[in-house]
Amino acid sequence: MICAGIDAGSRTIKVLLLDASTLSVLGAGVVDQGIEQEALSERLLNRVLADAGLNRHEVASTVATGYGRKLLRSADSRITEITCQAAGIAHCLPGAKTVIDIGGQDSKLLRLTADGRVSDFAMNDRCAAGTGRFLEMVAAQLGVRLAELGEMAQRSRCPARISSVCAVFAESEIVGLLAQGCTAEDIAAGIEAAIATKTAAMGGRGVTPPIVLTGGVALVTAMDEALSAALGCPVEVAPDPQFTCALGAAILAAKRLNR
């Protein structure tokens, strides 16, 4: 039997197919988010199935997660991204105690129990500060692609001090730093450090290692290093971090089938 996890996030939609008996990944895909979320997810699901040589009738169960999960009426069930993220991380990195999930428009810090369930979490969903959308704005301001931002940060010799990760105030701050002769590399490194500091603050009383970084921002080079410095302990990037939430959704779909 085949299960599907659909993560309708704020910036992208991800689909992952799983063999329900072996929990092996059969295929995965991602598209940019849009207005017609259900149509986009349906087309993506059909494409991933076709690429894997599978048919729609072979999908026995589908779980939707993410901000747009309630709009995906064809899904068999809908589960929060916090629960799905924990399930995905517990599967690919068992033993993880803390999960930092930085997505397109929010960031979360999850504390996990020994068996991989969520014991506590903190969430920043009131603004785009320190998220993928914020990094997109910074990259545009510096005239580079988002994928290049982390590589630039690694070439920095003296990271700039960024006082705000608010998308509005940081934009004017970057303009001022450039006018003062600050290099784009130093600004990129300063931005990563500022995001890491803000994210680490969600930990409140502290975080327990092993710590895993996931979400789309985990794909930005050196973000894990910036977080490691801010937290004072190593941070590991999850395998295929953009898909861990969809993986968790598919795993939960498989567990329901197996029960």
Residue 259 has pLDDT above 80, yes or no: no
How much is the average pLDDT of 128-142? Answer: 82
How many whole angstroms from its chain centre is CA 97?
Answer: 17
How much is the average pLDDT of 208-223? Answer: 94
Taking alpha carbons only, the member of 198, 211, 34 closest to residue 107 is: 198
| 109/25 Cα distance (integer angstroms) | 26
Residue with token string 């968790």? 248
pLDDT digits (tens, 9 = 90+) for 87-99: 999 999 999 999 9
So what's the pLDDT on residue 103? 87
Mean pLDDT of all residues belonging to the chain: 92
pLDDT tier at 129, thresholds 50, 70, 90: low
So what's the pLDDT on residue 171? 79
Q: At what angle do helices 132-142 and 146-154 cross, to 10 degrees?
A: 80
pLDDT digits (tens, 9 = 90+) for 42-73: 999 999 999 999 999 999 999 999 999 999 99
**What domains lie within the chain, and their CATH numbers?**
2-87+243-258 (3.30.420.40), 96-238 (3.30.420.40)
So what's the pLDDT on residue 172? 84
Burial of 24 (0-12, 13-18, 19+ CB in 10 A): exposed
Could you count the other beta carbons within 10 Å of the beta carbon of residue 136?
17
